[in-house]
């Protein structure tokens, strides 16, 4: 996996799956590109239209709490997000993100400001904040989860190995 590079989009604590993929767009769940245009709109109406390929979501604690809708991480990935950096994640969201091949990083995110330019190495567990010239480390995902992520998500992982390998 290469090094990821992009700008930071800052969000606060407890961003829910209703924020990420609002329930009122339930009927768009089989139309993911359209659903992605509404990603996080109740928190930041400019997010979906302005986010660039490679950008990061940088957030506080319990990111993704709420429903099991995998559409939430899926549309963030579709919108171009290359990884989510959070103080902590809600369990199902975390799992879903790995399963669809969207990297998730658990770390103290306070040294990152809105629109800071970041470089993230998943294997080394390293975040370089190019804007303020600071570097921070995080614990890389467990080897089992990293393997699922590197295979491109759980479906690709099962296709490649014929079964789940942990």
Please, what sign has the CA dihedral across residues 143, 144, 149, 151? Answer: positive
> Which residue among 36, 40, 65, 149 contacts another protein (CB under 8 A)?
65
> Which residue among 92, 107, 112, 122 contacts another protein (CB under 8 A)?
92
Closest listed residue to residue 74, CA positions, set 22, 24, 21: 21
**Which one of the spans 50-58, 76-84, 86-94, 123-131 is the region binding another protein (CB under 8 A)?**
86-94
> Which residue among 90, 104, 120, 141 contacts another protein (CB under 8 A)?
90
| CA separation for the pair 57, 73 (Å, rounded) | 11
Q: Is 161 in the site for another protein (CB under 8 A)?
A: no
Angle between helices 143-150 and 91-99 (to 10 degrees): 50
**Which one of the spans 51-59, 93-101, 107-115, 121-129 is the region binding another protein (CB under 8 A)?**
93-101
| CA separation for the pair 109, 166 (Å, rounded) | 29
Contact between 16 and 66 under an 8 Å Cβ cutoff? The reply is: yes
Q: Is 46 in the site for another protein (CB under 8 A)?
A: no
Closest listed residue to residue 138, CA positions, set 108, 110, 112, 116: 108
Site for another protein in 14-43 (CB under 8 A): 14, 16, 18-19, 22-24, 26-31, 42
- Site for another protein, rule CB under 8 A: 14, 16, 18-19, 22-24, 26-31, 42, 61-62, 65-71, 73-74, 88, 90-92, 95-96, 99-100, 142, 144, 153-155, 158-159, 163-164, 166
């Amino acid at each position: 996996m290469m090094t990821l590079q992009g700008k930071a989009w800052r969000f606060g604590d407890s961003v829910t799956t209703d924020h990420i993929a609002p329930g009122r767009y339930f009927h768009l769940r089989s139309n993911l590109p359209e659903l992605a245009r509404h990603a996080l709109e109740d928190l930041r109406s400019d997010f979906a239209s302005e986010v660039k390929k490679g950008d990061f979501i940088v957030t506080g604690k319990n990111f993704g709490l709420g429903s099991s809708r995998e559409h939430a991480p899926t549309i963030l990935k579709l919108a171009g997000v290359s990884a989510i950096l959070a103080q902590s994640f809600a369990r199902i969201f975390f799992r879903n993100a790995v399963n669809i091949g969207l990297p998730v990083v658990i770390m103290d995110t306070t040294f990152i400001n809105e629109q800071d330019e970041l470089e993230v190495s998943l294997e080394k567990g390293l975040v370089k904040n190019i804007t303020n010239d600071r570097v921070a480390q995080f614990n890389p995902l467990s080897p089992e989860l990293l393997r699922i992520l590197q295979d491109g998500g759980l479906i690709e992982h099962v296709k490649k190995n014929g079964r789940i390998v942990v």
